[in-house]
Structure 1
């Protein structure tokens, strides 16, 4: 079980991440989308399904958003109502700062009652004034710590600029967080730097290392590449140029993700860091969805070959 693997700090965890249908999608169409999603997911050997909360991050930057923002259905309601036949844990993202403590308490009660796990995320823009702080949200969750786990987000790009991601991780660990899901990784050196500094800090403070789950996403087009960069994902210049000249951006990006996965498997094993992967599927194009499924299967086989999955 996902909960047991996190609590025992077992490596080789495999997640799959999706977004709910857009808010304007009619109820019957939502059912149809859910059924297609279930067909794909039932065949996957994954430990849990991540359902993201879609936020408008336009205020975070002055650069124009490559794709217009469209709100989506609530991730918890979508998973609860439409994905219940998928008998694996669901990890639900929630922007804690948008809700009162009373609202979060009621929400957590419902989430935990359904066997789901929460991940609280921060504010969508620096000038957004949170109603509830992350530390307050974690305090609300504390009553479930014996029977549940809570995750958080880690951003290697932020560490490259502020050099404090290791301390951010430790601060959240002190609030009960036991695993961290990264932003999509295309710069493996950034991810390694977080691991290096986290290991040093944890050893120095005699704190057990948390589980780090690296997110990987196939990139299907140059416009998608632009959007990833708009979101703050760093793509090294050499790789960016390679994508721009590639005859098949999607196929090349899958191979890049596989190379990154293999590199991180060996690096985390060497450093003694419990780890896993989250394969994101947030596109609507059929070929990109199929690529994400192929990535889950390939990474799963790679982990099995390393003795990290049965």
Structure 2
């Protein structure tokens, strides 16, 4: 399934499936990092996916006044983890790069040192304070990428929840396409209405522009505890009140979240297929707990089943 990922993206194919990992924390002993990496290789090497996303986690405490549910500890950089610890995985790797706290010179050096990357996604700063501190923005990063890493296929971030407030997320997507983004990965989706509103405006605006639209990969993740649910909200993931209550009071919150994510995928597919909008899915586990990682695998299997040729959706 992972052959010719570049071609699938550039041709605007629907049905792309990604899986995401966060590298171990930098405080993890190397022997344990090797054990983690080997376990991940065994778990991922036979997955029928198009790509593996490696996240670059940033401290977002300036984004919100709410107390962070889990303390922030920097992780091994995704490019380093991909090269040095899980290089034997033949799955294409999409490397996230946060520009938060990066100066122009630092980012230039990173591009020069990583010009061999096949796929990357730049993540903007989470607050205006970070941009003001370095005088370096996401658009600056896009411009430098054109100069120093023209052959790397570039992806962008989209946040459906942001569309409900500002009604301009589809315009942000088109702006990023002009900067060179060929595909988009969303923040974790739990609010289907925000997602469909974004898709609708994205589709109809593309008709007005008379242009093709890039694939959007929607992220799905299980939730195995109230603490994970609270952390998801801290991250900015919009969980509707009725769904929050249902998950909080369910007998098995993990199973309920698996069913919720699968149903969200079905609804996205039903809506997008009618309009020929190229959508796909990215599955992640926000928690490092084994049961939530296993639940993410179950969601992934459900997604792969939904995307089988001839599969009839509900």
TM-score (structure 1 length as normaliser):
0.94
Higher relative contact order (CA 8 A, sep 6+): 1
| Unmatched tracts of structure 2, length 5 or more | none
Please say which of residues 217-226 and 277-286 is displaced more in the overlay. Answer: 277-286
Residue 7 of structure 2 corresponds to residue 4 of structure 1: yes
Residue 292 of structure 2 corresponds to residue 253 of structure 1: no
Question: Cα deviation per residue 1:240-270 (whole Å; 9 max; x = unaligned)?
Answer: 1111111110011001100011111111111
C-alpha distance 14-306 of structure 1, shift in aligned 2 (>3 A): farther
RMSD: 1.8
Give yes or no for contact 1:17–1:282 (8 Å, CA) kept in 2.
no
Distance 2:100 2:212 in 1: 28
2:181 is paired with a residue whose SS is coil
| Unmatched tracts of structure 1, length 5 or more | none
Structure 1 residue 200: Cα displacement = 1.6
C-alpha distance 44-144 of structure 1, shift in aligned 2 (>3 A): farther
Count of equivalent residues = 307
Corresponding residue to 1:242 among 235, 242, 246: 246
Corresponding residue to 1:288 among 289, 292, 298: 292
1:40 is aligned to: 43
Structure 1 residue 306: Cα displacement = 4.2
1:150 is aligned to: 154
Distance 2:114 2:191 in 1: 34
Structure 1 residue 96: Cα displacement = 2.3
Corresponding residue to 2:106 among 97, 103, 111: 103
Residue 230 of structure 2 corresponds to residue 226 of structure 1: yes
Distance 1:13 1:26 in 2: 35
Give yes or no for contact 2:100–2:126 (8 Å, CA) kept in 1.
no
C-alpha distance 174-145 of structure 1, shift in aligned 2 (>3 A): farther
